[in-house]
Structures are given as C-alpha cells and as structure tokens.
C-alpha cells in the first residue's frame, strides 16, 4: 500500500515564476492538506481540501492556490514566486473525521533563486 | 487560536540515557495532541497521539507522552535512547479537524555515543 507520494522531490525556480506541486494521498484517504516548512521551523498549514473544495485555509496569500481532483489527488500552485517561498512543501492525507491520523509525504523541496 | 511551544530547541543526550522533550500548548477548545519525528530529508512520521481517555499515551519506538490538562503540557519521554533516535521532533495540536494542525518549531534530539 503506497503512502502519500509527492512530486517533484526537488526543483529550482526563478523569482516571479509559477510552480505546481503534486500529491497523491494514501489509498482510501479523502482529505489532503498542504504545509510549508521553512528551514529550521515547524510546518505551517496552508490549506486543506475535501470533496474537491478548499475547506480550511491558513495565513497564506492568494498567490497560494490549490485543487483537488475526483480521485482525491491534489495540486498546490504558487504564483509570482518570492525568495521567501523557498521551503519544503509537505502534503498530508487523512480520512475525514476528528482525530484521524494524518500521514505525510516526504515533501517537495522548492528553491527560489 | 492555537499555539504550541517546544521549550527546548536542542537536546543533547548520551546513548541509553532517559530523555524528555517538553511541549506546552494553548487552545480555547478541546484539542488533540501529537508528536511527530522527522529524520533528515524526510517527511514527518507520527510517534503518538492523544485524543481522549488515558493521559499516558504510548507510541512507537518506545516513546510515551503524558497529557496534563491543568498545565497544558504534552511532554514526550523515552527511558533509554539510541543513536538512531537522533532526529527532529515536533509537537502539534489539532482541533476537531485532524487535517489542520499547528506545529511547534521542533526540538533537535542528538544522541551521542
């Protein structure tokens, strides 16, 4: 049973460019959350998708957007990249419901130059 | 709003010694509490979680944590650490929606021979 898979694992972008990161949730999971983890910090919640709708959102600007597909996979899009967007982007999946364990992927390392 | 404070940014300890990683949280509602471990260049792995019931929670790899509601703490302990426990440890709090978690800034546990 595959866990949460993310792609790409590493990428380098230039300031002002746009990036799309992808996530396939663990089998049977219907909820996908995205987190940004800057170097030396804990993960920060970006948003969560359930039934193809954004259900919750953290304190991130509109440059950060996402999508969930009917097969529950998800994309994170970041427009007009800034140097400060350089981070590890983590996808987490779960089964909707209080207290259900969330499983993290290994992340996508984004470097903005 | 919720917040998590991990009281020690770095904890060095000798192999086979006991260790405690401290975590305090604040929340205006009932919470679920989690400890995750992150090895270099990897995603987060759940060590243990507190949802309700017994305040002493046992997790994987010999770790346990105690929920103390009056002190709003959820400290992680292990009676005897191994070199392989060297990693970053994150405490997290979640509301009724398990997908949205607030993380602390992490504690680096370094186990020395």
Which neighbouring-strand residues pair with B21?
A: B76
Task: Say which of B41, B98, B102 has its CB closest to residue A94.
Answer: B98
Among the ranges given (A57-61, A78-82, B53-57, B92-96), the one the predictor scored with the smallest mean pLDDT: B92-96
Give dist(CA B25, CA A42) in Å, integer.
Answer: 14
- Residues B81-96 have pLDDT tens digits of 999 999 999 999 987 6
Sequence-distant (≥ 6) Cβ neighbours of residue A3 within 8 angstroms: A26, A103, A105
Interface probe with A: pick from B5, B23, B44, most Cβ of A within 10 Å: B44
pLDDT band at B97 (very low <50, low <70, confident <90, very high): low
Cα A51 from chain centroid?
A: 16
Q: Give the whole-number percent of chain B exceeding pLDDT 90.
A: 74
Could you tell me if A108 and A12 are in contact, meaning their C-beta atoms sit under 8 angstroms apart? no
- Residues B27-53 have pLDDT tens digits of 877 788 999 999 987 889 999 999 888
Task: Say which of B51, B99, B102 has its CB closest to residue A48.
Answer: B99
Q: Where are the alpha helices (DSSP H) in B1-113?
A: none
Q: What are the tokens at B45?
A: 């792995």
The rounded mean pLDDT for chain B is 91
Assess whether pLDDT exceeds 90 at residue B66.
yes
Could you tell me if B46 and B36 are in contact, meaning their C-beta atoms sit under 8 angstroms apart? yes
Cβ contact A48–B44 (<8 Å): no
Cα B76 from chain centroid?
A: 5
Task: Say which of A4, A44, A92 has its CB closest to residue B99.
Answer: A92
The CA-to-CA distance between both ends of chain A, in Å, stands at 37
Cβ contact A98–B104 (<8 Å): no
Give dist(CA B91, CA B68) in Å, integer.
Answer: 14
Nearest chain B alpha carbon to A31: B99
Assess whether pLDDT exceeds 60 at residue A104.
yes
Q: Chain B: give the shortest CA distance to residue A11, in Å.
A: 14
């Amino acid at each position: 049973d595959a866990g949460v898979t993310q792609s790409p694992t590493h990428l380098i972008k230039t300031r002002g460019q746009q990036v799309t990161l992808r996530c396939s949730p663990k089998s049977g999971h219907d909820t996908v959350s995205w987190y940004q983890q800057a170097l030396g910090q804990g993960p920060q919640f970006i948003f969560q998708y359930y039934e193809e709708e954004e259900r919750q959102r953290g304190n991130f600007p509109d440059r950060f957007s996402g999508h969930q597909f009917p097969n529950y996979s998800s994309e994170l899009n970041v427009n007009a990249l800034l140097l400060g967007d350089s981070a590890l982007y983590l996808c987490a999946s779960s089964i909707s419901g209080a207290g259900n364990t969330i499983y993290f992927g290994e992340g996508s390392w984004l470097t903005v130059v | 709003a919720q917040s998590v404070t991990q009281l020690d940014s770095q904890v060095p300890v000798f192999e086979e010694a006991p260790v405690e990683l401290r975590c305090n949280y604040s929340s205006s509602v009932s919470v679920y509490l989690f400890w995750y471990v992150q090895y270099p260049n990897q995603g987060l792995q759940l060590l243990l979680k507190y949802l309700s019931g017994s305040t002493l929670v046992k997790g994987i790899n010999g770790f346990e944590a105690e929920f103390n509601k009056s002190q709003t703490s959820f400290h992680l302990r292990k009676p005897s650490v191994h070199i392989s426990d060297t990693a970053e440890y994150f405490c997290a709090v979640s509301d009724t929606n398990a997908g949205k978690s607030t993380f602390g800034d992490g504690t680096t546990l370094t186990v020395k021979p």
